[in-house]
Structure 1
C-alpha cells in the first residue's frame, strides 16, 4: 500500500493501561499463569492496533504492550544471558541480568509478534528492537573485554532474528538507541554494532535516537550535534528524532545529512499530558520542511506513548494526523 506524502507513524510503544500493569505484576507474583498473561497481551495489542488505525496513523506498531521495558524483553530471550528472576517484583523494573561467557546463537522468538501484528492490520507496520548499544549498557558484562566487543557480539547474535522479522512482514524495523545521547563518545563503535545488527536485513531500517523516556522524563539533555558526521556511517534509511519537547533548534544540523536519509521528526511531546492542537503540529512540520524536503520526512511522536493515559495518547495521535493533513493540503497547492 503506497504511503502518502508525510507519512505518520509511531515510535513504538502505546499507552500501558493500569489494569495491564497490575496483571503483569500479578504474573511476577505467580498469581496468574503465562498462558493467561499471553491472552491478556493479545487483547491489549489488538486494542492498541485499533486505536492507531482509528487515529488515522499510516504506519503502525503493536504498541509493545507485551514488553515490560525496553531491555528485559530482549535480555530474557538472548541465549547466554543469565537472569535473576527473583530480582523483579514490579513489571517495569529491570531484571538483574549478566553474561558470563560468549553468547551462543539462537532464535529470540520475536517473529510471532510480527505475525500477530500483520494478521491484525492491513496498514504498513513498524517493529522496534532495542539496539546493542543500549542492551550492553544494561546487561552486566562479565566476559567480554569491553562494552564494544559485547555490543558487537549482541549484534551478531540478533542479526538472524532481524532477517526473520523482515521475512515475517515488518515493513520498517526500528532500532531503539536512546543511550547514544547519554554516551556520545561511544558513537563510532555503536554505529559499527548497529551496522552488524542490520546487515542483510530486507526491510527499511530506522534508528530512533532521543534523550530518554524513563517514567516519562528525559534522562539527558544536550544537542544532536554529536551525531554528525558519525551517524552518516549508519547503513539505515531513516533517523527518528525527538523535537517537540526540545524545540526545533537542532533541525538545522540535519541539513548536513546525505539525501539518502529520511528523517522522522517528533512533533508530539510525550512528556506532557497537554494535547497538541493540529495547528501546533502543522507549524512544527512547516519548520522541519524548511530544512528537509517533504519526500524525506516522516511524522511521529518524540518517543513512545507508554507513560500517557490512553485517552491522552489517542488524542495526541489524532492531532498529529490532523495537523499532518493540513500541511499535505498546503503542499498540493
Structure 2
C-alpha cells in the first residue's frame, strides 16, 4: 500500500447497462424474485471488477451495482426508518422514507450486509478494493422526520448505525473505506454537523478513510455549483485521511484554496469529467496531474474520476479510465527516480 505513487482508482459506481436497469425495474414491479436479482447482481459486479482491471485501475470497487441509487440500498436497512411503499416505477427512483423511531444500531447484523458485499468483491480480485457508502448527512436528506423532531438527531443516529457497518467491514478485511456526501454541497451551512457525524462513523475503525464531496451527479447533472471553500475550516476536524473531490469539470481553482486552508492529508484528484461523454486524452490527464503537483506532492495524490461512472455508457467509461491510467503512467515515469517502466501497485 505504501509504495504506490499516484495510484489510480474509481470513486465508486460503475455504469449501469440498459439490460440491468430493465431487470432491476422488473424486480421493483414484482416481475422477478430477489434470488434471481441477486444472481444478476453477482454477474454484474464481477464484470465491473474485471473491466476495471483490464483498464489498468490500481484500486478497484464493486461498482455499487447492487444499489438502486445512492440512498435507498442503505436506508432500507437502517433500523427505525420506515418505507411504506417499496415498489417503484423505475429502479433509480428514491423511496419516500420516514423516521418511525430514532434509528439505533442493531444488536446483531450490524454490517447492514455491506460486509457481505465487500467479501464478494474481495474474493474476485487480487487488487486493493475501495469500498464506499453514502454518509449519514446525505442519507438523512431523504428521510422525513416527525413534527418537533430534530433533523440533526437523525443524522447522528444514522451515523451510529453506519459506524457498526464500518466495524463489520473492517472485520471482513476492508482497509480502504470511503464516505460519500453528495448532498453536502447543497447545504454548506450544515458542514459542521456532517463532520460531527462522519467522526462518529470513523471513530475507532482503524482503516484508511476517504471522504468524497461533489456537487451532485444525478442523471449526470450537477445539482449545485460553488467552491470547496465551504468545507473549511470544519473539515480539518474530520477523522479522514483523504478528500476525494471533483475538479475536472469545475477546474482547479479550488486546489490552492484547499492547500491554503491547511489540508495536509491526501487528495483524490478528479481528472475525468463524468458528466461528459467526451473521452479525455492521456495528454490532458497528464496536464491536470502536473498542475496539481505544483501544489501537492505526489505521495498525497490519488488519481480518480470526478464522481461515480454510473451515468456513462460502459464503452465511454472504460475509454476514459484507460486514458486516465495512461496519462497517470506518463506522469509517474517523469517523477524523479522513476523510469517509463514503473507501474504502481497497491493501495492508497
TM-score range, shorter chain: over 0.9
Q: 1:36 aligned to 2:40?
A: no
1:136 maps to what in 2?
140
Query: Would you say the 8 A contact 2:103–2:154 is kept in 1?
Result: no
Query: Would you say the 8 A contact 1:167–1:202 is kept in 2?
Result: no
Q: How many pairs align?
A: 333
Query: Would you say the 8 A contact 2:289–2:331 is kept in 1?
Result: yes
Report the CA distance between 1:256 and its aligned residue: 2.7
Query: Would you say the 8 A contact 1:206–1:239 is kept in 2?
Result: yes
Report the CA distance between 1:240 and its aligned residue: 0.1
Report the CA distance between 1:149 and its aligned residue: 1.3
Larger RCO (CA within 8 A; separation ≥ 6): 2
**Structure 1: how far apart are the matches of 2:74 and 2:88?**
15
Report the CA distance between 1:175 and its aligned residue: 0.3
The answer for unaligned runs of 5 or more in structure 1 is none
User: Residues 141-290 of structure 1 correspond to what in structure 2 (within 5 A)?
Assistant: 141-142=145-146, 145-256=149-260, 258=262, 260-290=264-294
Report the CA distance between 1:125 and its aligned residue: 0.7
- 1:16 partner SS: coil
4+ residue runs over 3 A deviation: 257-260
- 2:209 partner SS: strand
Which whole-Å deviations, capped at 9, do the CAs of 1:122-143 have from their partners, x for residues lacking one?
Answer: 1111011110100111111227
2:80 maps to what in 1?
80
2:54 maps to what in 1?
54
Change (3 A) 1:301 1:286: same
**Structure 2: how far apart are the matches of 1:75 and 1:259?**
32
- RMSD (CA atoms): 1.3
Report the CA distance between 1:145 and its aligned residue: 2.8
1:69 maps to what in 2?
69
**Structure 2: how far apart are the matches of 1:299 and 1:245?**
15
**Structure 2: how far apart are the matches of 1:224 and 1:289?**
19
Query: Would you say the 8 A contact 1:12–1:64 is kept in 2?
Result: yes
2:346 maps to what in 1?
none
Q: 1:315 aligned to 2:319?
A: yes
Query: Would you say the 8 A contact 1:241–1:263 is kept in 2?
Result: yes
Query: Would you say the 8 A contact 1:188–1:230 is kept in 2?
Result: yes
Which whole-Å deviations, capped at 9, do the CAs of 1:222-267 have from their partners, x for residues lacking one?
Answer: 1111111111010100000000000111111121354651000100
- Between structures 1 and 2, the one with greater helix share: 1
**Structure 1: how far apart are the matches of 2:34 and 2:147?**
32
Query: Would you say the 8 A contact 1:101–1:142 is kept in 2?
Result: no
Report the CA distance between 1:89 and its aligned residue: 1.7
Q: 1:326 aligned to 2:326?
A: no
**Structure 1: how far apart are the matches of 2:258 and 2:99?**
37
Which whole-Å deviations, capped at 9, do the CAs of 1:69-94 have from their partners, x for residues lacking one?
Answer: 01000011111111123552210000
Query: Would you say the 8 A contact 2:28–2:87 is kept in 1?
Result: no
1:103 maps to what in 2?
103
After TM superposition, the score normalised by the length of structure 2 is 0.93
**Structure 2: how far apart are the matches of 1:2 and 1:262?**
13
2:296 maps to what in 1?
292
Report the CA distance between 1:144 and its aligned residue: 7.0
